[in-house]
C-alpha cells in the first residue's frame, strides 16, 4: 500500500512525492501541488503543512 507522502506509479510500485508536491492520503495515484509560491524542502511530503514559502 502506498502511504501518505507517496503515490502509486504502477500496480506494485509506490514512489515518494516530488519536491513541491504532497499527498496526505493512502493509495493515491498522484501527488497534490503546493500552493503558488510554496514548495517542500524534500521529497515525500505527507501534508500541505510541509509546503513552505519559496523565499524561506
Q: Tell me whether residue 21 is in a domain.
A: yes
Burial of residue 22 (number of CB atoms within 10 Å: 0-12, 13-18, 19+): buried
User: What is the predicted pLDDT for the residue at 20?
Assistant: 98
For the chain, what is the domain count? Answer: 1
User: What is the predicted pLDDT for the residue at 56?
Assistant: 55
Q: Tell me whether residue 13 is in a domain.
A: yes
Q: Tell me whether residue 42 is in a domain.
A: yes
pLDDT averaged per 10 residues in sequence order, the chain, 56 residues:
95 96 98 98 98 87
What domain range is 33 assigned to?
Answer: 6-53
Q: Tell me whether residue 15 is in a domain.
A: yes
Q: Tell me whether residue 26 is in a domain.
A: yes
Q: Tell me whether residue 1 is in a domain.
A: no
Query: Nearest to residue 20, comparing CAs of 6, 35, 4?
Result: 35
| Sequence-ordered strand ranges (E) for 1-56 | 6-8, 14-16, 21-22, 32-33, 38-39, 52-53
User: What is the predicted pLDDT for the residue at 2?
Assistant: 96
Q: How many Å apart are CA 9 and CA 50, to the nearest integer?
A: 22
Amino acid at each position: 500500500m502506498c502511504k501518505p507522502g507517496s503515490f502509486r506509479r504502477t500496480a506494485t510500485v509506490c514512489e515518494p512525492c516530488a519536491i513541491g508536491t504532497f499527498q496526505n492520503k493512502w493509495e493515491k495515484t498522484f501527488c497534490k501541488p503546493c500552493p503558488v509560491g510554496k514548495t517542500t524542502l524534500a521529497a515525500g511530503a505527507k501534508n500541505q503543512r510541509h509546503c513552505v514559502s519559496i523565499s524561506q
